[in-house]
Amino acid sequence: MRISLSARLIITFLSISVLSIIVVGNYSYFEAKDALIDRTLEQLISIRVEKENRVIDFFNQRTNDISNISNHIDAKTIFKELNNLNNNRFSGLFDRYLLGYLRASKCYKRILFISPESKITIYDLRDDTLINTDKSKVKTNYDSYFNGVENKEAIIINESLIDPENYSIEIGLRMYNSLGTLQGTMFLEISYQQIDQIMFENREYNGLGKTGETYIVGKDHLMRSSSRFQTDAIFKTSVKTMAVENSINNISEPNIIKDYRGVNVFSSYKKSTIGGLNWIFIAEIDKSEAMTSINSLQNNIIYLSFIVSLLLLGIVAVLSVNITAPIRKLQAATELIYKGEYGKTIKINARNEIGDLINAFNKMSVQLKEQTERIEFEQVKRMSSVISGQEAERQRLSRELHDGLAQHILSIKLRLEHALSVQGNKRKQLISETKELFSETIKEIRDISNNLTPAVLNQYGLIKAIQNLSNNINNDSKLEFNFVHNTSCDSYGKKIDAYIYRIIQEALNNTIKHSKASLFSVNITEVENNINIKISDNGTGFDQKNKTLKNGNGLVNIKERVSLLSGNLTINSQEGTTLTITIPI
């Protein structure tokens, strides 16, 4: 199927443009996408680290609280008095300022004192109630918190879960008297709501949008803070995700994973050891929300690419039409030249390669017209020269027949008639004279025949014919004919032999008639499958600017015959006349 140049240009330019748009658009999209992913993960890391630091600061403060309390009270006295404590005396035993501080912080639920005798005294800060009990009646094994801890001043943070509704965090230390004897253990029970207040934020403008959240997971895969998507999640929602598993294995690498809901999220996670808690801090946001802006960018790139492609299509169509319009004009003008209408030109002002091409075409068209006219003129001239030559040859032949042959025949006729009228010696004399006239007539006929077509040319070839012509000229005229040849054969075929012979004969006639020369030379050689002919005389030469002489019948006939043999002719007439002819064999 033929496709026009205009259509090819449109398809090519549009394809390149659309491909460029696709490449640039995809590059921009993926660069922006990678940047958004990196920025989102960095933001999640920042939020997670900030939440983790706040929780750590919270527990550092609680550690300072219990340490200050331990330093402020006398362990020996307080545990001695706790054995005889009743509900009305605890506020007097424990400094009022410290109780006020603990209540004001709103972090603590209860204070626990555990004596070496396994007696437990629990003071509830929320309602000022006091409970005395022993270890056997409490589900939490508080003594196990300090298993393997050799440092006497160590502060332990641990969590206890009696049931999902009764979850608390205890921070405790062992208390000694001045002699270093263990008097008992004190625990401050912390409300989990305090941790939840730090971790849980259900607001859109907290840096996590509508679907982001931060939460804590314990080593048992259960949540330790509230969920944005599930109510009452603490110690009830199991989180068995890649974030938890990687954190347990001490791998902390932000990634795109599925969260506890099975939703694809951007996730930042890390295990943090606070006392003995071994919590995992996680910050996540739904991938769909995080990628909203890049999806919008993708849609914008598609729409923009479509619009730009349409604009490019229009621009490319206009450009292709402008580019191909001169070519279509050139095609139409070429078809006119093919039909023989030469001289047609195209008017266009284009300073580019197409303009150069059209200018060259215009020059070619004009030159073709000029050459055609010149060829037609030359053909007319050649035809005229041929006709003139034929007519001159007929006139020459007529003169030779009339002035020579006819006179001889008439003389023979008269002598024969006279011989019939006489007798004796006179008749014998007339018959003898008639015989001589017959001989001369035969010679005249041979000369005329040789001038028309030399018999020696047909019988012995070109070289012998020229040699014979040279001998005749040297014998019958004052002109010296010098013939030299270096050839591999005497004949090149009837056509080539006849044409070369006529060329030399024509040049010889011109020399005899016009040059006043005393020497006429012909040199024939063979070089690389070419016949090289050099014809020269020592005559007066002629002015090649003189059109009458330059276009005379003799030279025209020579040029015509050289052209018919596909040869080349050069003329030098500065000192005498020299014709240099090259004819392919």
Q: Where are the domains of the chain?
A: 456-585
Residues 265, 285: contact at Cβ < 8 Å?
yes
Q: What pLDDT is attached to residue 268?
A: 94
The token pair at 85 is: 């404590």
In this structure, which topology does domain 456-585 adopt according to CATH? Heat Shock Protein 90 (3.30.565)
CA 437 from centroid of its chain's CA atoms: 97
Residues 266, 44: contact at Cβ < 8 Å?
yes
Q: Which amino acid is at 390?
A: Q
Q: What is the mean pLDDT of each run of 10 residues along the chain (585 residues)?
A: 70 80 83 88 92 92 89 77 60 69 86 85 83 79 80 86 75 88 89 85 72 91 90 89 92 90 94 86 92 82 81 80 76 77 73 76 80 77 64 66 71 77 80 80 71 69 87 86 88 85 88 87 90 91 65 74 88 87 90
pTM: 0.56
Q: Name residues whose C-beta falls within 8 Å of residue 426's C-beta, 6 or more positions apart in sequence.
A: none
For the CA atoms of 285, 287, 289, 294, what is the dihedral angle to 10 degrees? 130
The token pair at 514 is: 């016009």
Q: Is the dihedral of CA 483, 485, 489, 491 positive or negative?
A: negative
Which residue, among 132, 134, 130, 125, has the nearest Cα to 89 in the 3D structure? Answer: 130
Distance CA 215, CA 282 (A): 6
Half-sphere exposure of 577 (CA within 13 A, CB side): 24
The token pair at 560 is: 């015509």
Strand 182-191 relative to strand 108-114, pairing: antiparallel
User: What is the DSSP track for 271-300?
Assistant: EE-STT--EEEEEEEEHHHHTHHHHHHHHH
The token pair at 575 is: 């000192």
Q: What pLDDT is attached to residue 136?
A: 75
Q: What pLDDT is attached to residue 386?
A: 60
The token pair at 386 is: 């041929």
The token pair at 581 is: 């002819």
The token pair at 483 is: 């013939």
Q: What pLDDT is attached to residue 242?
A: 94
Our CA angle for 301, 302, 306, nearest 5°, is: 115
Q: What pLDDT is attached to residue 231?
A: 84
Helix, strand or coil, per DSSP, at residue 172: strand
Q: What pLDDT is attached to residue 70?
A: 85
The token pair at 428 is: 């014998």
Q: What pLDDT is attached to residue 239?
A: 94
CA 127 from centroid of its chain's CA atoms: 82
CA distances (Å), 546 to each of 507, 516, 541, in order? 18, 18, 12
User: What is the DSSP track for 156-178?
Assistant: EEEEEEEETTEEEEEEEEEEE-T
Distance CA 177, CA 73 (A): 11
Helix, strand or coil, per DSSP, at residue 130: strand
Beta bridge partners, 485, equal: 524
The token pair at 410 is: 């008439």
Distance CA 6, CA 502 (A): 59
Distance CA 102, CA 64 (A): 12
Phi and psi at residue 574, in whole multiples of 5°? -75, -50
Beta bridge partners, 571, equal: 579
Using left for φ > 0, alpha for ψ between -120 and 50, and beta otherwise, residue 68 falls in: alpha
Distance CA 259, CA 334 (A): 75
